[in-house]
Amino acid sequence: MNKNDICKIGIGTWKIDPENFEKDLEALKYSFDLGQNYLPLSLLYNNGKVVEKMKDFIKLVGRENLFICANLERYVEKIEDVENQLNYYLKILDIDYVDCFQIHTFAVCKIPMLEIYREIDGLVKLGKVKYIGISNVNLEQLKQINSIVKIDFFEGIYNLDCKYYENKGLIDYCKENDILFTAYQPLRRNKIAQKNYEFLKQLAEKYNKTQNQVMINWIIKEKEIIPIIKSTNKDRIKENIEALDFEMNKEDYEILNEFQNEKINSIEINWNDESGVTIDQLANQNGGEI
């Protein structure tokens, strides 16, 4: 599948329940039937059990109909571990290749990222990987990696409260370099809607949509970002997809563009195992609002 064929909303797989997978599989199939086809996977989710269960979903809908992004996790101690971990994904999922392969977070790698990405580039040449992604790094690191291999995808935190990557210029860099930005926690697991920002309530009322639909619409249509949203509730899945069905006025998009959560902005990001919060935990911080 070409990266231009990806649905505007990705399927979140964090906290898929392997013990009650029949129900979750039904919801995944419903997501697929509504057009969702971007499937990010991680061996960290429930100790790899989520990946094991996804084999059933892939067989149900057809490998060729999904864009599968596999995350390289913390088990990399020597360069051979990169291909070994990819092979593990391929074996568990019973597939021949992944569409995208990426480091989930640089901090867990015991060898330099540049070496790892040269190895991933070699896996592209072998046909085991189609596109190269990267996740949870800063702009300087992204530039460094993109200078040696072509990065096609960047996965990072982005939502109304957490605009770190936008404020630091990384999202602009992605647009300038044909890197597709995919965002996890685009709704902060419903925490933003729970705050009931007055301007967000007014926009929801104006367009007769939920606050979450307004935010999803803004992220996709104004920011040109693909949000990754996990839900096994069919009504919520349908609601998320229906966020694509309306347009807001430019001035209303600007209200969302201009908002800054200064308490979140003031949080120090830990990039070097020092003080502060790691970037993947940013959306979990309170921000003083709730």
- Of 73, 74, 76, 66, whose CA–CA distance to 98 is shortest? 66
Condensed to tens digits (0 to 9), the pLDDT of residues 183-196 reads 999 999 999 999 99
- Residue 240 maps to a domain: yes
pLDDT at 108: 65
Q: Could you give the 3-state DSSP secondary structure of residue 32?
A: helix
**Containing domain of residue 161, as a range?**
3-284
pLDDT at 288: 44
pTM above 0.85, yes or no: yes
- Residue 204 maps to a domain: yes
Task: Give 10-residue mean pLDDT values along the chain (290 residues).
Answer: 94 88 94 97 86 95 98 90 96 98 82 94 98 97 97 98 98 98 96 96 98 98 97 96 98 98 94 81 72
CATH number at residue 270: 3.20.20.100
Long-range contacts of range 262-267, CB-CB < 8 Å, 24 or more positions apart? 263/287, 263/288, 263/289, 264/161, 264/162, 265/163, 265/164, 265/167
- Residue 184 maps to a domain: yes
Q: How many domains does the chain have?
A: 1
pLDDT at 72: 95
- Residue 254 maps to a domain: yes
pLDDT at 275: 72
Those residues with Cβ within 8 angstroms of residue 156's Cβ, 6 or more apart along the chain or in another chain:
135, 136, 165, 170, 181, 182, 183, 184, 279
- Residue 57 maps to a domain: yes
- Residue 289 maps to a domain: no
**How far is it, in rounded angstroms, from Cα 281 to Cα 290?**
17
